Amino acid sequence: MLDQLLFLSVFLLGAIVGSFLNCVIYRLETGGNFLKGRSFCPLCKKELAWQDLFPIFSFIFLKGKCRYCQQKISWQYPLVEIAAGTIFLLVFKLFFLNSEVLLADCLGLLYYWTIAAFLIVIFVYDLKHYIIPDKIIYPAIIVSGAWYLISGIFFNSYAGYGMLNTAYAALGAAAFFLFIVLVSRGRWMGAGDIKLAFLMGLILGWPGILAALLLAFYLGAIIGVGLMILKKKELKSEVPFAPFLVVGTFLILFWENELLDWYQAIFLLK
């Protein structure tokens, strides 16, 4: 029972962070300051009361409509809150399935929660606007780089060659995307994808980065073909790629061993 209450609390914490991330996304779009000012309806600009600010539940109780102007609230808001809650819970389980809790685990938990928040914003913003905002990607790289050094030096998370492998993974992934950008003259990928690939390398290291990139390209191809079949996109239509990179990152972060075993069983017939 205590475990269920703890997991529920972690999920609700993630949902609260997701609500804040929705604010960040909206104010990035409008050029506002997401650290100041009360929350308001993006349609009628009416300041929201406290009862309108409960993640997920307010959307349900209000039946998906603004209390004041009765306009429909975007499904982005509850979906981001649910996604953030779920990801926070999965990250929590990575660190606290065992009874022994170390300082490195606590710091690692905070780091991965922070990185998860950055990745969620990147996913939604690129999906909507086909761009990865520098205001998000650069702080994410700084945070990830700092954790890479701190965990490697003080907690021995990267033993010996492991630290170099992580650096090579980040630089190699960025170089690969830079090559694609140069060859395509920016038609296939953007500069933001280079920065995101570098961030992924810092997060996942080697060989996780390779698996995440393969998954991203597989998912991108499947979704792209599906959209063309449904006539939502044409062959030359632009499709944001960062969401696939973010999904690939989360899949490898949470289920790397299972996915690699599945890949070997299906494609290598082992």
Burial 40-66 (b: 16+ CB within 10 A, else e): bbbeeeeeeeeebebbbebbeeeeeeb
What pLDDT, on a 0 to 100 scale, did the predictor assign at position 244?
Answer: 95
Which run of H or of E encompasses 159?
none
pLDDT tens digit string along 237-249?
A: 677 899 999 999 9
Average pLDDT of the segment spanning 67-78 = 89
pLDDT at 268: 56
Nearest partner of 194 among 174, 209, 176, judged by Cα: 174
Q: Identify which of 144, 137, 154 has the alpha carbon closest to the alpha carbon of residue 110.
A: 144
pLDDT at 237: 62
Domain boundaries along the sequence of the chain: 1-101, 132-270
249 vs 201: CA distance, rounded Å:
9
Name residue 211's amino acid: A
Tell me: pLDDT of 256 over 50: yes
CA dihedral 145, 146, 147, 150 (to 10 degrees): 130
Pairs from 50-53 (Cβ < 8 Å, separation ≥ 24): 53/19
Question: Given a cut of 60, is residue 100 above it in pLDDT?
Answer: no
- Tokens describing residue 54: 């409960």
Q: Can you list the alpha helix ranges (DSSP code H) found in the chain?
A: 2-30, 57-61, 76-95, 103-129, 134-154, 161-184, 191-229, 242-267
Q: Which residue is it, tokens 């010996």?
A: 160
Residue 137 pLDDT > 70 = yes
Question: What average pLDDT score do residues 170-186 get?
Answer: 90
- Rounded distance between C-alpha atoms, residue 232 and residue 239, angstroms: 11
- Mean pLDDT value across the chain: 85
Residues 6+ apart with CB under 8 A from 61: 54
Mean pLDDT computed over 84-100: 83
For residue 160, the model assigns a pLDDT of: 43
Lowest mean pLDDT among 5-14, 32-41, 209-218, 231-240: 231-240
Residue 184 has pLDDT above 60, yes or no: yes
Strand partners, 65: 72
Q: What is the pLDDT of residues 188-238, one digit of tens each?
A: 788 899 999 999 999 998 888 999 999 999 998 898 888 878 767 665 667
Confidence check: pLDDT of 161 > 50: no
Q: What is the mean pLDDT of residues 132-151?
A: 92
Residue 213: name the closest of 174, 270, 181 by CA: 174
Q: What percent of the chain has pLDDT over 70?
A: 87
Q: What is the pTM of this model?
A: 0.90
| 128 has pLDDT over 90 | yes
Mean pLDDT of 106-122: 94
